[in-house]
């Protein structure tokens, strides 16, 4: 029962390790190394969208039935840079840079919509109950309209219509700059390490 027979037995069924097998193993290790970067980017996108929406909702003003919104989309650019720094820490490749840029663009849109939903809910709260006969007496929508999730989920088309009417070209420009800042910062940070 020599060693030569055992080696041959193992190679017959499983084969000898090839150069390509080692490359696949290294690719798996690389994917495991960058998995926390993907998770961190998603987490930062959720937190950033929430904070961006809160900032937009806090700086906006409701006067009767009109809503005045201050332009805060320039705050998305440093947020994009922050996401780029976190992503670049893992020295991931261009796929993760683009993933981060896409996440930041989605987070900016979600933050804008959340901020507008906050302002629409504030407008509904200031308006108070509708006049007699305007809604059915049991109308739970009177209270529900004062909650931002009502505008985000139940009446998303109304929120989108409000958002499109209130945004200018600077919102789109700063959203694109935030995505570019994410990709460029991630590339710069990843190469410096």
State pTM to two decimals.
0.74
CA gap 176, 165 in Å, rounded = 19
Altogether, the residues listed in the chain come to a count of 193
* Residue 80: band (very low, low, confident or very high) from pLDDT cuts 50, 70, 90: very high
Q: Which residue has the tokens 């976190």?
A: 86
CA gap 126, 129 in Å, rounded = 9
pLDDT the model gives residue 107: 94
**Residues β-bridged to residue 66:** 63
pLDDT digits (tens, 9 = 90+) for 93-138: 788 888 889 999 999 999 999 998 888 888 888 776 655 555 444 4
CA gap 180, 78 in Å, rounded = 11
Three-state DSSP state, 93: coil
pLDDT digits (tens, 9 = 90+) for 35-72: 787 888 899 899 999 999 999 989 988 887 788 888 88
Query: What mean pLDDT, rounded, does the chain reach?
Result: 78
């Amino acid at each position: 029962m020599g060693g030569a027979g055992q080696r041959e037995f193992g190679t017959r069924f499983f084969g000898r390790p090839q150069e390509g097998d080692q490359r696949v193993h290294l690719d798996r290790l690389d994917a495991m190394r960058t998995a926390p970067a993907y998770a961190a980017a998603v987490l930062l996108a959720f937190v950033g969208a929430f904070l961006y929406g809160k900032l937009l909702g806090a700086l906006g003003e409701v006067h009767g039935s009109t809503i005045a919104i201050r332009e805060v989309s320039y705050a998305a650019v440093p947020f994009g840079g922050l996401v780029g720094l976190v992503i670049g820490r893992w020295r991931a490749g261009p796929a993760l840079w683009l993933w981060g840029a896409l996440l930041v663009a989605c987070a900016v849109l979600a933050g804008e919509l959340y901020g507008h939903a906050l302002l629409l809910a504030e407008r509904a709260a200031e308006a108070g109950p509708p006049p007699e006969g305007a809604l059915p007496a049991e109308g739970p929508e009177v209270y529900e309209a004062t909650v931002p999730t009502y505008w985000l989920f139940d009446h998303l088309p109304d929120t989108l219509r409000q958002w499109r009417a209130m945004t200018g070209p600077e919102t789109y420009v700063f959203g694109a700059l935030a995505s570019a800042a994410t990709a460029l910062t991630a590339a710069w940070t990843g190469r410096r390490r």
